[in-house]
Structure formats: C-alpha cells, structure tokens
C-alpha cells in the first residue's frame, strides 16, 4: 500500500485535520501504530493512545473532539470502525491481486488458454488444454495438471497441486500446498491378502467463492465428481474423500476428515478435528462439535451434535458431565450395595 492521507480520506468520504500529504504504507492498532501507519479510534476506552501513538494518521468518528493536541493527522468519518474495516478490505484485495505478469522460468502446456491481468510465478506449471480465466494469480511452484479450468479472480498460492480435469470456480482462494484432485483411497481386498487399486477416474469441482486451506487434500471422485459448493470455506489440513459433496456456505475447521461419498448439507458449521464416516448424509444447518466422530447420518436440519461417536449436543454435554463424576458414582453404588447387604 502507498497512499497519501488525503487519498485515503477521499476514498472513505472523510475530512482531514492535520498533514494530509503524509504517505501511508501500513495499518495498525492505535497502540502499535508507527510512522507510516494509519489506525482508528472507535471505542473511547482507547482514547489515551491517541495522544501518544506514532501512527501518521488516525480515523475517528465525526462526533469525536480531541481533549489534547494530537500529532497524527485525523480523518473524520461517519463510522470510524467500518471505515477502517473497509480500508483493511481494500488493502487486502490490493495485496492479493497485486502481482501481474509472468516470471521465468514457468511452464505452459499446449492448447491452454489464459485470460488477462494474470500472474504466473516462477516455477509454476500449467499443463495442456487448460482454460484459465482473467485476473487469476498462480503463485510460484503451483502445479496445474491437464484439462483444468480455473475461473476469474481465483488465487492459487505457492505449492498448490491441482490434478487433471479439476474445475475451479471464480473468486476461489487455494492456500499453499493444498492438493485438489489426487486419487482417493480405493483398494479392493484380494483373496491373498493384497489389495488391488480401484481406478479413480473422476474429478473435483470447486464452485465459486470456495476457500481451501493450506495442506488440505481433496480427492477426486472414483467416477463423477467430488463437489465443493459455492461459498464453502475449508480450513487447513482437512481431508475430503472421494465423491464427497459439501453444500453451499458450509464452513469446516482445521484437521477435520470427511470419508468417501458423504454428503454434507448447506450452511453447516463443522468444528476442528471432526471425523465423518463414509456414505453419510448430513442435513442442512448441522453443527458438529470439535473432535466429534460422526458415524450416522443427520436427518433433521439445524441439529447440533457432539462427542465420539456423536449424538445430540445437549445430551452429550450431560453425559460428559457425569463422566467426570464416574469414580464418585461408582463409590456411591458400592456404598449402597453394602448398605443393602446388611
């Protein structure tokens, strides 16, 4: 980021008091602000920091009147908190899409079409017959196999592996070292104890606005597609098995594993380190507690489940409370038995 205080004020529809020619190069909390930073004051609990901060500029509410002299430039806006948030988002977007052009060496297969405003980092590899949209950022060391489609405004971070025939939507973000479309775990036991590989010939489809965390793995379908619907957010180190489907706007926290052919509904919230057995159907709006082990389908929308194996959240909380008292419970039973023997 490199803007003057004046440019930022114009962007936010605010007025400046102080030096509006200062260059702003970063954002910071008011107590951590350094020269070149812009910060904000919304909660007046933090007002004392305003008189000591080294930030070059501070965004404040229009209604605010400083009680002491302020070194920083002040930008007066309707709502300082939302103005700062907006600035964060603008800055973030700018950072994400800053890179343009092709670094060398990079590899491009035959028959691949690429849109405009793209970035292809050094040592990136794009196979044959791919269709890559506009404003796509493919960072260094990324691998895109053959016959892959990637929609506009999608960011492929360093070291991502997208295997053959994958379809990635628009406005997706794939974080470093994620693997999309690797072969699932399909082996048929043979009579001599060995296993024969079941060919995995399907693909992975990521719809628009999907986020995939670092080192997360999404296996291709045996046949057909493993499908991650629009707006799904996957955290780091998640395993998604072959032929899984995850419904719109479902969020899944880190280190969760979803076994093959399980269908998870829309708007679910899955906490971290959860495990799903295969071939389940999980209703829309299901909430699953951390480290749960889901062994059965969930039919009713909006159900909250917990524990391993998972059952109703409230019931599980009650059982877990008694679990802690088990030694006492056992003792009470023994006492009662003795009493009854007499």
Contacts 24+ apart (CB under 8 A), 225-230: 225/167, 226/184, 226/202, 228/204, 229/266, 230/169
Residue 154: which of 111, 125, 117 has the closest Cα? 117
> Of 10, 117, 304, 308, which one interacts with its own copies (CB under 8 A)?
308
Distance between alpha carbon 33 and the CA centroid of its chain, in Å?
28
Nearer to its own copies, 68 or 324 (CB): 324
Q: How far is the CB of 179 from its own copies (least distance, A)?
A: 4
C-alpha R_g of the chain:
27
Tokens of 1: 């980021």
Confirm if 162 and 181 have CB atoms less than 8 A apart.
Answer: yes
Handedness of CA 7, 10, 14, 18 (dihedral sign): positive
Q: How far is the CB of 65 from its own copies (least distance, A)?
A: 27
**What part of residues 44-103 is at the interface with its own copies (CB under 8 A)?**
88-89, 91-92, 95, 103
**What part of residues 128-167 is at the interface with its own copies (CB under 8 A)?**
139-141, 143, 157-159, 161, 163-164
Confirm if 265 and 286 have CB atoms less than 8 A apart.
Answer: yes
Nearer to its own copies, 118 or 203 (CB): 203
Total number of residues binding its own copies (CB under 8 A)?
A: 98
Indicate the DSSP class of residue 99: -
* Burial class of 264 by CB neighbour count within 10 A (0 to 12, 13 to 18, 19+): buried
Q: Where do we find the tokens 């507690």?
A: 289
Stretch that binds its own copies, among 15-23, 41-49, 70-78, 327-335 (CB under 8 A): 327-335
Active site residues: 242
Q: How far is the CB of 114 from its own copies (least distance, A)?
A: 17
3-class DSSP state of 220: coil
Residue 138: which of 117, 156, 164 has the closest Cα? 156
Q: How far is the CB of 151 from its own copies (least distance, A)?
A: 17
**What part of residues 10-39 is at the interface with its own copies (CB under 8 A)?**
27-29, 32
Stretch that binds its own copies, among 9-17, 42-50, 62-70, 312-320 (CB under 8 A): 312-320
**What part of residues 187-226 is at the interface with its own copies (CB under 8 A)?**
187, 193-195, 197, 199-201, 209, 211, 213-215, 217, 219, 223-224
Q: How far is the CB of 253 from its own copies (least distance, A)?
A: 7
Nearer to its own copies, 69 or 105 (CB): 105
**10 Å Cβ neighbour count for 63?**
8
3-class DSSP state of 89: helix
Q: Does 290 bind its own copies (CB under 8 A)?
A: yes
**What part of residues 230-289 is at the interface with its own copies (CB under 8 A)?**
231, 233, 235-237, 239, 241, 248-249, 251, 253-255, 257, 259, 266-267, 272-273, 275, 277
> Of 58, 172, 173, 204, which one interacts with its own copies (CB under 8 A)?
173
């Amino acid at each position: 980021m490199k803007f003057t205080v004046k440019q930022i004020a114009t962007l936010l529809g605010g007025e400046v008091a102080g030096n509006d020619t200062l260059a702003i190069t970063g954002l910071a909390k008011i107590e951590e602000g350094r020269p070149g930073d812009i910060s904000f004051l919304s909660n007046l609990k933090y007002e004392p920091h305003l008189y000591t901060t080294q930030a070059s500029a501070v965004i404040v509410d229009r209604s605010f009147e400083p009680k002491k002299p302020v070194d920083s430039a002040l930008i007066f806006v309707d709502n300082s908190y939302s103005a700062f948030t907006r600035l964060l988002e603008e800055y973030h977007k700018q950072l994400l899409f800053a890179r343009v052009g092709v670094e060398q060496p990079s590899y491009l297969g035959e028959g691949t079409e690429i849109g405009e405003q793209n970035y292809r980092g050094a040592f990136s590899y794009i196979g044959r017959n791919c269709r890559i949209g506009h404003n796509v950022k493919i960072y260094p060391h990324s691998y895109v196999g053959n016959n892959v489609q990637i929609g506009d405004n999608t960011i492929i971070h360093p070291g991502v592996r997208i295997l053959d025939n994958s379809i990635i939507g628009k406005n997706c973000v794939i974080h470093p070292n994620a693997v999309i479309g690797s072969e699932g775990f399909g082996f048929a036991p043979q009579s001599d104890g060995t296993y024969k590989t079941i060919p995995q010939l399907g693909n992975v489809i990521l719809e628009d606005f999907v986020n995939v965390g670092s080192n997360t793995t999404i296996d291709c379908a045996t046949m057909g597609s493993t499908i991650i619907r629009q707006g799904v957010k996957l955290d780091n180190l998640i395993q998604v098995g072959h032929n899984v489907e995850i419904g719109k706007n479902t969020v899944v926290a880190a280190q969760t594993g979803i076994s093959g052919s399980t269908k998870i509904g829309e708007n679910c919230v899955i906490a971290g380190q959860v495990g799903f057995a295969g071939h389940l159907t999980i209703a829309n709006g299901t909430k699953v507690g951390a480290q749960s082990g889901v062994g059965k389908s969930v039919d009713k929308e909006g159900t909250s489940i917990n524990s391993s194996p998972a059952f109703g959240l409230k019931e599980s909380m009650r059982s877990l409370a008694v679990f802690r008292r088990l030694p006492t419970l056992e003792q009470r039973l023994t006492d009662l038995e003795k009493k009854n023997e007499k």
